Amino acid sequence: MTLSFLSPARALPALALVALMGGTALTSLPTPLMAAGAPQGGYVDLVAKVAPAVVYIEVAKAAEPTVQGNLPEGFPLDEFMRRFGMPMPGQMPGQPGGEAPVMHGVGTGFIISADGQIVTNAHVVEGVDSVKVTLADGRSLDGKVLGTDSATDLALVKIEADKDLPTVSFGDSRALKVGQDVVAIGNPFGLGNSVTSGIVSALGRDINSGPFDNYIQTDAAINKGNSGGPLFNTEGEVVGINTAIFSPSGGSVGIGFAVPSETASQVVAALADGGKVERGFLGVQIQPVTEDIAAALGFEAPKGVLISDVTADSPAARAGLARGDIVLSVDGQAVTSPRDLTRIIATDTPGAKVALNLLRAGKAVDATVELGARPEQPA
């Protein structure tokens, strides 16, 4: 599996989780997947409406200085250098005539405001030296990264144009149903804007990429280079941002994942406002309610989340939460797993007050907590 320099990957049994960043040579491309249940006449009108707002993103970053002509650890060697113009041995930084190599990558984005705000993935633009955005009409403009959020792999880029730009808007991902038609537009393998269609395969997927996993799974063909591209419903609304795929080869096998617009719209608004995302913080350690714990409490099945510890002088401690409490809901939203509680709390802002329904020593208890600010954690 060949990965570009910004493409994180996690080893999984028989598969790899691949961020969809581009930058590979064109060898063999996977066979496109056929859409299920496409409307008569296809998606011609939909694509004509939304495609002008989808953009092609190219990034560049100078490689870190190397010692004694050695490439960075884990960097692909001869074949990569031949294909992408990297310096060959004898021309490495620190050697006579050597220059620091520049690494390139490609991705996708979409315009959400007429003045040039563009949504893409954080892994496309985070830490790069330059961003170039190519519009659907062929114009290329320099982009400025306004902010990134590694926890959700989202970023906001700004371009300056001499006239209003075409835009698309977020829809409500909460209204999605499994089996519903969706359309993806992106820049697979650097080919330029390409359209694929499919269905919503699953909702609420946890792929172990971070604490806020809540992905839309789709069989619409998406590949490296589609990173940051929009996933549309049939109304032309953005319901997801294409971010990752499961693949044994790096190409589409019909299992792709998109950040839901419910999450993206909140993160993007925060990035536009101050360049970073502030998240609510409760201050507890939590674990699932096991079958044994559920049986001991008289539950027919496990439910809620067990508080295993409370951090001293935290919002939870000040609100009187205690070890052994079981959180059943937050602001009326049922909590069935630790991931649910983490995501619900994190989507609120510091200073927000949330109502918790608890079970304490077999008795129902209500508590109100004023959230603190979530400490920054490594991506």
Mapped onto helix, strand or coil, the DSSP state of residue 118 is: strand
**Statement: residue 274 has pLDDT above 90:** no
Fold assignment, 1-63+101-276:
Thrombin, subunit H (2.40.10)
Given this structure, which CATH class describes domain 280-373? mainly beta
Mapped onto helix, strand or coil, the DSSP state of residue 56 is: strand
Mapped onto helix, strand or coil, the DSSP state of residue 15 is: strand
Distance, in Å, from the CA atom of 245 to the CA atom of 252, rounded to the nearest integer, reads 7
Q: Indicate which residue of 4, 104, 123, 329 is catalytic.
A: 123
**Statement: residue 260 has pLDDT above 80:** yes
Instruction: Identify the pLDDT of residue 10.
Output: 34
pLDDT grade, residue 377 (50/70/90)? low
* Whether 231 contacts 243, CB under 8 Å: no
pLDDT grade, residue 20 (50/70/90)? low
What values do phi and psi take at 230, rounded to 5? -85, 145
Tokens for 265, please give them.
Answer: 């719209």
Domain pair 1-63+101-276 / 280-373, same fold: no
Look up 123 and say whether it is catalytic. yes
Q: Please enumerate in sequence order all residues whose Cβ is within 8 A of that of 41, keeping only pairs 6 or more positions apart, or say none.
A: none
pLDDT grade, residue 102 (50/70/90)? confident
DSSP state of 291: H
Percent of the chain with pLDDT over 70: 78
**Statement: residue 56 has pLDDT above 90:** yes
Q: Indicate which residue of 149, 153, 213, 348 is catalytic.
A: 153
The reported pTM is 0.73
| Residue range 144-168: mean pLDDT, rounded | 93
CA angle 13, 225, 256 (to 5 degrees): 40
Mapped onto helix, strand or coil, the DSSP state of residue 216 is: strand
Look up 104 and say whether it is catalytic. no
Distance, in Å, from the CA atom of 239 to the CA atom of 174, rounded to the nearest integer, reads 9
Look up 130 and say whether it is catalytic. no
**Residue 315 host element (H or E):** helix 315-318
Query: Tell me: the pLDDT tens digits for 327-352?
Result: 999 998 898 888 889 888 888 888 99
**Statement: residue 188 has pLDDT above 50:** yes
Domain boundaries, the chain: 1-63+101-276, 280-373
